[in-house]
Amino acid sequence: METKFNWKLPLYGVIGFALGSIIFTAGDVFNAAFELTSADNAIIGYIIGFVCVALWGGLGGASIGIGMFGKEDKGKILRLAVAGAAGFLFGLAALLLSVVFLLGPGFLIGFPILISVTGIFLGMGLKSKRYGISLAGFGVVAGIITDIIVLGIGYIDLGLRIGVIDFYAITLSITAGFFYGLALAYVDYKPLGTNKINKWILFIAIAIISGLVLASAMQFLFPPKIVENVGCCGKIVTTQKFQLFLSYMKNTGFYPYTYIEYEKDGRTFENYFDNSMRLSLEWINQNTEDDAVFLNWWDYGHMIRGYTYRDSVIYAPSSEMLGTVANMEWIPEKQGDFSPGERIADVGYALLTSNPDETLRIMDKYNASYLYIYTLDWGKSWAIYEAIKDDVGSKLTINFSALEVPTKEEEDAMAEISKVAKDEDEKNKLISQRMSELYKKRLLEMLGNTTLGRVLNKEKIEGLELVYSDKSAVIYKKI
């Protein structure tokens, strides 16, 4: 019996999946607004995210069901809604796995995978191989078209979002919904059949997805490691660490991660390692006393202790800093006990004071004979100030709040850029670059009389002697 081509199905598909994408984006905005993607609330954020993904696929499946069977056949509509929800969850997992394995390019490959996997589930919901094969095939086409739109318009690196309308999500929904409806209308109009070619297409799709799953699972379970022994009791390990960016998924994946592991005081410690500091650490190994103590900001304490087996006044943040300037997770069993607040305040004050006698006094207090400064510590000076201002802020001569007020030079720069910029995007980009340059200039000028600023400028400091410098670190010795 001949049937007409049902052009309503693509429309129903677009409406359902587009509405679902708005719910998904609203959930993402909610997570961001209430900081539910932070370490403390990550589980809640993930649950909300997964529920919104399921609703996205479920609304799309239900809408297609209404287009196929009308509102009366609630059983079939519900079955398609469940199939759409499950398909989107599995499809999103497949997309993330492709991103994990291939990083940026994997995001583009992931679109066809996500839409085809969801199509297979919708076919299962319809209990039809013909529907499933057609939906999977048309899904690949929809994914490729999504990639062309995203790349062609040039938003691949912007992640454009206006309110709860996300460019990626709405583009994906329109193309997926349209081609799902097109596929189902095509099958009803002209049955596809299950010949050998269709079986091979399905087999190849399953093989590709299985390969991605296997490769990513191997990366998770057995990440490659390069181990280098250092000193008497330490080792530097380079491996890969998975990072998930919920609001910018194309950057999700494995990234190189280097950490140092060492034994000291009867405990095993582990923390990140910055290879740019290696030359200065080698110098410490060869030119300082075995019992030397270093005064430095806490970020570098583990590297000094583990690589050189010398000691550091602080090698961990205080517990109060984790929710403020540090904004990170700290595991005392692995990374060491929190530093007392008094030590954090003393070290920060020693760095930001304009009185070198105070720096020397604090070095004497903790028996420190060396001052270790990372060349980018000027950028951390605000964080150091925030960590110590309640304890010693009144003793400091620097004022970070003054940096928030634009100078005449900055206002003139913004006005000049506004005149020459071709469009709003270029203006914002140029202003951001210029303001960063001027902010750095003002910050360095403000820090000029502090111990931190004078060390970075390699100035002569009474009671201290410059003994080492390279592009990453400066070391002074107490004399």
Prediction pTM value: 0.58
pLDDT tens-digit map of 90-126: 988 888 777 666 655 666 677 888 899 999 999 999 9
How does DSSP classify residue 157?
Answer: T
Distance between the two ends of the chain, CA-based, in angstroms?
Answer: 99
Mean pLDDT, residues 401-407: 83
Distance CA 1, CA 117 (A): 31
- Residue 305, pLDDT > 70, answer yes
- Distance in angstroms (rounded) separating the CA atoms of residues 419 and 431: 12
Total residues belonging to the chain: 479
- Select from 195, 197, 137, 149 the least CA-distant residue to 174: 149
Do 259 and 225 meet the contact criterion of CB atoms below 8 Å apart? no
Determine the pLDDT at residue 204: 54
Kindly state the average pLDDT of the residues 367-378.
Answer: 96
What pLDDT was estimated at residue 446?
Answer: 93
Q: Which of these, 82, 83, 144, 84, lies nearest to 113 by C-alpha position?
A: 144
Instruction: Identify the pLDDT of residue 40.
Output: 63
- Arithmetic mean of pLDDT over the chain: 83
pLDDT digits (tens, 9 = 90+) for 180-192: 888 888 777 654 4
Numbered ranges of CATH 3.40.50.12610 in the chain: 226-398+450-478
CA distance 146 to 98: 16
Task: Tell me which residue of 362, 334, 329 sits closest to 451, measured CA to CA.
Answer: 362
CATH number belonging to domain 226-398+450-478? 3.40.50.12610
Distances (CA, A) of 156 to 187, 275, 425: 34, 31, 15
